[in-house]
Amino acid sequence: MVRPEFFINTLKDNGIDFYAGVPDSLLKNICAYITDNLPADHNIIAANEGGAMGIAAGYHLATGKIPVVYMQNSGEGNIINPLASLTDKEVYNIPVLLVIGWRGRPGVHDEPQHVKQGKVTTGLLNTMGINYAILPKDEEGAAKQIKIAADYMKKTNECYALVIEKETFDTYRLQNVEVNNLTMSREEAIQKVAASIEPNACIVSTTGMISRELFEARTAWNQGHERDFLTVGSMGHASQIALGIALQKPNRRVYCFDGDGASIMHMGNMAITASMKCKNYVHVVFNNGAHDSVGGQPTVGLKIDLCGVAKSVGYAATYSVDTAETLAKILEDIKNVEGPILLQVCVKKGNRKDLGRPTTTPIQNKEALMEFLNKK
């Protein structure tokens, strides 16, 4: 395996020491090492992968040096536009080293949302004209491949991708953990909100831990899962799925269970949600200031005023809570408040180590929800 320290230092030896991106579980060890060992202005955890490409391009314009953009392969969709219209050799010809975690690689078991993305990962790179290599899992091979990539980018000013398979990097645990003093767990908060909703209401939950914890709550309560759309993948889009339902089902309350990383990833969605003035829409953001599902790297969630953002774009009401007692009171209060509502629930980092995953397929989940929504 490749030690994160070796990988980062080898890039540095080749003149590459600036990073921007969105953390990924396959890259969590190098992301943690970068977070601990590089200055904050040389590791920008971006809102989304397209934004990271913009930051990287700006860095190159200012310095002439080659930046790194890291991501899960699901983030390839977010970089297609800047790859084609910004960094491409027929436009501005800007070199960026892409480091892409290969979830869902054919032949390797993975979660449903990664299967299609895994099949098309290298095909998308081919279509975009991006030279790439799968990073060897031994340090000698990795060093040779990094030099090949660096030499190619320096010669051509074109992008190059290193595709990272599972178990490429040795373990490294984040040391500089940003600790908050919050006492309520996300799972506890999810259970309280889910237990309070109206009988005919539905929930659209974002990808990752939030959907997993909601599924386990229903299972523990011996309830069905037909009221919940458990978004797998499509990070940052749950709020708009919920909006689409809310517009068509005005007599049902529709709740979006969002995370801070997901809501920040496509924050412009909040403006569209507010503009539609759906009285039946409740946007719940469980905010722990971290990308909890992929290693715990920080977000800016607890450093910004999400309620202020929601107010400024036109949400009808906003609330922020950080204790179970206050949450219980607000949940009772908002039953008589028209939306769109933003409820920020500030929670501590972390999750149960034995947290399970949904046992229904995405198709089963979709069909059950649609049947529920079509009931009078």
Residues 195 and 159 in one domain: no
CA distance 87 to 59: 12
pLDDT at 326: 97
How far is residue 196's CA from residue 328's CA, in Å, rounded to a whole number?
9
164 DSSP β-pair partners: 101
Between CA 276 and CA 290 the distance in angstroms is 29
Q: Which of 110, 131, 164 is the last residue of a domain?
A: 164
Q: Is this prediction's pTM over 0.95?
A: no
The confidence score (pLDDT) of residue 259 equals: 95
Extract the residue ranges of the chain whose pLDDT is less than 50. Answer: none
Same domain flag for 138 and 27: yes
Q: How far is CA 272 from CA 173, 247, 282, 305, 340, in A?
A: 39, 12, 14, 18, 11
| Per-residue confidence (pLDDT) for residue 366, from 0 to 100 | 97
Q: Is residue 228 domain-shared with residue 357, that is, in the same domain?
A: yes
Domain range spanning residue 360?
A: 186-373
Q: What pLDDT, on the 0 to 100 scale, is given for residue 294?
A: 74
Query: In one letter, which amino acid is 324?
Result: A
Q: Mean pLDDT in the chain?
A: 95
pLDDT at 175: 86
140 and 196 share one domain:
no
Question: Do residues 155 and 220 both lie within one domain?
Answer: no
The last residue of a domain, from among 132, 164, 196 = 164
Nearest to 231 by CA among 209, 260, 201: 209
Q: Tell me: do 132 and 193 sit in the same domain.
A: no
Write down the pLDDT at residue 174. Answer: 84
Residue 263 maps to which CATH number? 3.40.50.970
